A = this chain, B = another copy of it.
Amino acid sequence: MKDSGTMDRSSLDSLISMPLFAALPAAALDQVMSQSFIQYQPTEAILFEQGQSAQFLHVILAGRVALVGSSTNPHHSDHPADHNETEQATATDREAIIEIFGTGDVVTIAAVLLNLPYMMSARVIAPTRIAYIPAAVIRYCLDNDAGFARETALMLARHWRLLSRQLKDQKLRSGTQRLGAYLLTLSDGRTSGRAEIEMPMDRRTLASWLGMSAENLSRALAQLKPVGVQVSGRHAQIDEIARIRAFCLEDDLR
């Protein structure tokens, strides 16, 4: 752990600008502020690993974090003892990015609320400023503040939609179609016309998120060229959004 610090004024401002914490009464906010701390984490940092118990709610004040599921689990760990960051996994290291959180998002509130171990690991993929709020504080807020509970439910509802949409994509669209659909999400939801797009992550990460190999992502990009997509580096240009939408069988259901 590095660059640790208590919560300052500007971080608190960032917090209360989020709907989740906006309506929290002063007393609860004091609780949060006094027991939480701030960390700056560089790319590749691990916030927590799959299997650990949920100690903190991680609020991303700035940056980007990926939730990563891996299929190799440490050999037969009977009780949830606290292994630390020095552990290295076994040979086959297959892993997949399940979700990507950005500024203003909150990472795995589910595990925190349910007081269960994390089902996945969290890895920083762009330099990040994070507020660590103790799980107990969050659960206290859930139990004692109706507004917080309400906002939590709404946030989880939105995330449920994101996940089920992704699951739908995964089950009945090809890799190339998923890529197209992803590009469309970067086009601000417009349904026709030209679009200039900046992809916010490297190919390997994007491939893992879309559920395909990096090599195949390359080929998928090539396959989109005839549909009117020019790519160079992280920049992409879509000639006609409607064409890509048709190609991906995209619906309007957000």
Chain A contacts to B: CB under 8 angstroms? 50-51, 67, 69-73, 88, 90, 94-96, 98-99, 109-111, 113-114, 116-120, 142-143, 145-146, 149-150, 152-154, 156-161, 163-168, 170-173, 211, 246, 249, 251, 253-254
Contact = CB atoms under 8 A, between A and B. Distances in A.
A69 to B, nearest CB: 4
Contacts of A88: 246
A118 B159 CA distance: 14
B96 A172 contact: yes
Contact of A171 (B72, B98, B117, B251): B98
| Candidate in A120, A159, A253 with the most chain B CB atoms within 10 angstroms | A253
Contacts of A90: 249
A177 to B, nearest CB: 9
B167 A160 contact: no
Number of copies: 2
Contact of A157 (B98, B113, B173): B113
Given A116-B254, A152-B153, A156-B160, 4 more contacts: A69-B172, A98-B164, A98-B167, A170-B211
Given A157-B109, A157-B156, A163-B164, A251 B73 contact: yes
B69 A168 contact: yes
B109 A251 contact: no
A156 B166 CA distance: 17
Contacts of A119: 161, 164-165, 168, 253
B157 A167 contact: no
23 contacts: A51-B251, A51-B253, A67-B164, A69-B167, A69-B172, A88-B246, A95-B172, A109-B157, A110-B160, A110-B161, A111-B161, A114-B158, A119-B164, A142-B150, A142-B153, A143-B150, A146-B146, A149-B152, A153-B156, A160-B160, A163-B167, A167-B170, A171-B211
A213 to B, nearest CB: 11
A69 B171 contact: yes
A71 B172 contact: yes
A202 B99 CA distance: 32
